[in-house]
Structure 1
Amino acid sequence: MRVLAAMSGGVDSAVAAARAVDAGHDVVGVHLALSAQPGTLRTGSRGCCTIEDSHDARRAADILGIPFYIWDFAERFTEEVVETFVGEYAAGRTPNPCVTCNEKIKFEALLEKALALGFDAVATGHYARLATVDGELELRRSADEGKDQSYVLASLQPEQLRHAMFPLGDSWKSDVRAEAEQRGLSVARKPDSHDICFIPDGDTKKFLEKRLGERPGELVDAETGAVLGHHTGVHGFTVGQRKGLGIDAPAADGRPRYVLSLEPVSGTVKVGSSADLGVQAIDADRAIWPSGRPLDGPTECTVQVRAHGGIADAVAEADEDGRVSIQLREPLRGVAPGQVVVLYRQDDQAGDLVLGSAKISGTR
């Protein structure tokens, strides 16, 4: 097959490209330039898509002996990922930009261009597995559950998965680094990227304030209705947040307060105790079924509401309009509208199967 290997400049994508070459595919490497003004150097694990990253990707491609190109996707990335991120926060929701990037950039924009140029598949360094069961393609967790990235891929459509390759799905990260060393790849010990790639300093609040300005409002006790303080915008808070609330007086019982809900129209941030954070039920919409099979009636499953955590057993039911109702077997904390909920079915033989994903619209 003709395979386009997306090479970020990190160790995972470099080894994924190498394995595609070893498998006998005709591989071409491509680095996506996602920033209109990329930084020159990374700072440890902060940020990505720098000029340094593009050079690292090119050096890896040279060692593998494959053609290499840089494609400018900065305008589409800004529109689809960055502006969506800002808009969601302005609306009082908590988005995951990595989910949006995989859906809209790597497996929509990049895949569309790859197919138009005659490629059969796009290979990435994601830790996830694809399995064919009874003739149907399924997305599953990776062997290394600590690195599993099926959560951020669960918004892909069946047709997109049919043109995807995840060569690292059966591997552990330590083995991938060792393999990179053996292959002479200079990125073998390069730190993984963390946080949000377009906010390299990690200060999300400052990033949002620069784009949204000040939108003053009140911090209100959810139980008594008492005004406890003021803030410069609901976009500076997330459900479950404890630190940086700007409330001087402690709670009556002396225990910490947490953000319970955000009301962007009124500018109200409601706070309360940790006990008030527990969520028993989740409502979601815009469901996507990667295997092409929607839920058929109430379904026992495991749900995950964050890329690395927020997992609970549940019963989920979906309607034909893409709405999903989830009843949790045990409460989850810090669940916010705008987050993606991913539904899994446990399967010990082939790894947990991704049933589907949906955007959280409310909690109960």
Structure 2
Amino acid sequence: MHTRTRVVAFQPPVCRIVWAPRFAVKSASNKNSRRASQHEVKAATLTNLSSDRTERRSFVDCASEDTLHHPSQLPDDRQILQGCESVRAPLNVAVLLSGGVDSSFALHLLNRAGHNVQAFYLQIWFQEDFRNYWDSCPWEEDLSYCQQVCKDADVELHVVPLTDEYWDRVVAHSIAEIKAGRTPNPDILCNSRVKFGAFYEYLASHQDHNFDRIASGHYARIIRGDDPDEPVRLALAPDAVKDQTYFLAHLTQPQLSRVMFPLGSLNKAEVRALAKAAGLPNQARRDSQGICFLGKVKFSEFVEQHLGVWPGCIIEEETEEVLGYHQGFWFHTVGQRRGVPLNGGPWYVTQKDVHTNTVYVSRNYYSVDKERNLFTCESVNWITRPPDSASQVLCKVRHGPVLYKCDVSFTNGDQSAVAVRLECNDQGLASGQYAVFYQDEICLGSGVIQTTGVSHAEIGSFVDDQTKAVL
């Protein structure tokens, strides 16, 4: 029987949930607190992962992977191979290899588990036509590490060109969303449309590639029943900081039914230590940051190249006074503080008017009278089923360990649109973001945020009486 441990968010006290998978959730709140910390989301957990695993203390700092302590004792073989479906070996497994330590150690585990493994490096980088930063993207280094890992493991490596697919399905869509004033998430799109979308199509068009599973180095768990026709479930990983279910929540059941996440039962510190013990050539390589295809080009430069510059007014929300000017609303997002070209701050972006090219700001962004806990979602993808009333629904509005308790109301008959009320405010809600829903440890699915800042009365008007199901 799994034990459960409370996780406490440190000062300043905020109305938030910090989730350690398999453990109880504690919400820290303080009605007198006027400002929620954006950076000091920390958790101290005393974990006992299972009856056959040594209890250990783990201090997790969300700001940096480097703060993870080296585990005092590594898990045993049964725990290490828990995400590899060893009982079904040998399966034919295609491994998505990136050159990083996570996917490389996933390949190593699959070999240990006795599967027939082939590796695939997805070529999704491209050269921007406005500046030659080809050498700034470490794709050659990535591929070199992939080749070395596969050579050491005696595994065949394939390079799959998906540059056009990545541009058409991820980059072009993201540019269009930014132009419309929304805040897209390219990582979610890359998983659903490329890694587990276009790559599936590539395998289907190459009959010599017949695989039972597609594996990757994501930190997430797959739960399969004994019945092969039973839907698979996506579950949180033990590492609350590295958990990547947020990025996987828009996969469909057909996509998810083929995947395998060998690292699902491990945390990042354990993977680092085990990769070192295994002698992987990239054991100490740092995780990639940002979007590879941009190289050293700043995201703002990329946006400027594709959307240009459109000067407009910056207006104080409370007084409607023009305080200054910006270069285009698409360079700003709700909740932003850095990069607002004004003195006398800190100034926070509160909203954008895409029709008048106006950016509204305030120095009182965190005032208690400014509720930011209501929004609607469309294009909702339920992986297995919509939420039920059996247990509390939780919601993530961005990647990380923070979840909110929430109420969910269906706003149409097919349950593909919902209205959501968070237990407390989130200061960075923006249209275009993804909201991901959970019950217990299971990820139910996700939807795209459409409207934010709606009132309780407006939420009620969205809900059809015949389909209303507040959970």
Q: TM-score by structure 2 length?
A: 0.70
- The alpha-carbon deviation at position 340 of structure 1 amounts to 0.4
Could you tell me which residue of structure 1 aligns to residue 380 of structure 2?
A: 287
CA distance in 2, matches of 1:247, 1:168: 45
The 3-state SS of whatever aligns with 2:120 is strand
Could you tell me which residue of structure 2 aligns to residue 275 of structure 1?
A: 366
Could you tell me which residue of structure 2 aligns to residue 121 of structure 1?
A: 213
- The alpha-carbon deviation at position 133 of structure 1 amounts to 5.2
CA distance in 2, matches of 1:17, 1:36: 26
Equivalent residue runs for 1:18-33 within 5 Å: 18-33=108-123
Could you tell me which residue of structure 1 aligns to residue 424 of structure 2?
A: 330
Structure 1: unaligned runs, 5 residues or longer: 347-351
Identify if the C-alpha distance between structure 1 residues 266 and 310 changes in structure 2 by more than 3 Å, giving closer, same or farther: farther
Amino acid at match of 1:185: L
Identity %: 32
* CA displacement 1:50-69 (0-9 Å, x = unmatched): 11101101110111111111
- The alpha-carbon deviation at position 321 of structure 1 amounts to 5.1
- The alpha-carbon deviation at position 130 of structure 1 amounts to 0.6
Could you tell me which residue of structure 1 aligns to residue 157 of structure 2?
A: 68
Could you tell me which residue of structure 2 aligns to residue 228 of structure 1?
A: 323
The number of aligned residues is 348
* CA displacement 1:159-179 (0-9 Å, x = unmatched): 111100100000111221222
* CA displacement 1:293-336 (0-9 Å, x = unmatched): 12357973111111125531111123315111111111111111
Larger Rg: 2
> Which of 166, 188, 196 does residue 291 from structure 2 map onto?
196
The 3-state SS of whatever aligns with 1:294 is coil
The 3-state SS of whatever aligns with 1:60 is helix
Please tell me the root mean square deviation across aligned C-alpha atoms, in Å: 2.1
Could you tell me which residue of structure 1 aligns to residue 246 of structure 2?
A: 151
CA distance in 2, matches of 1:200, 1:279: 35
CA distance in 2, matches of 1:203, 1:59: 30
- The alpha-carbon deviation at position 37 of structure 1 amounts to 3.3
Runs of 4+ in structure 1 deviating by more than 6 angstroms, as ranges, are: 38-42
Q: TM-score by structure 1 length?
A: 0.90
Equivalent residue runs for 1:160-309 within 5 Å: 160-201=255-296, 203-248=298-343, 250=344, 256-272=346-362, 273-275=364-366, 278-291=371-384, 293-296=385-388, 300-308=392-400
Amino acid at match of 1:52: E
The 3-state SS of whatever aligns with 1:287 is strand
Identify if the C-alpha distance between structure 1 residues 299 and 326 changes in structure 2 by more than 3 Å, giving closer, same or farther: farther
**Does residue 363 of structure 1 match 2:456?**
no
Structure 2: unaligned runs, 5 residues or longer: 1-90, 454-471
> Which of 181, 189, 192 does residue 103 from structure 1 map onto?
192
CA distance in 2, matches of 1:199, 1:337: 24
The 3-state SS of whatever aligns with 1:330 is coil
Q: Which moved more, 1:334-343 or 1:84-93?
A: 84-93
Higher strand share: 1
**Does residue 2 of structure 1 match 2:96?**
no
- The alpha-carbon deviation at position 199 of structure 1 amounts to 2.9
Identify if the C-alpha distance between structure 1 residues 266 and 309 changes in structure 2 by more than 3 Å, giving closer, same or farther: farther
Could you tell me which residue of structure 2 aligns to residue 132 of structure 1?
A: 224
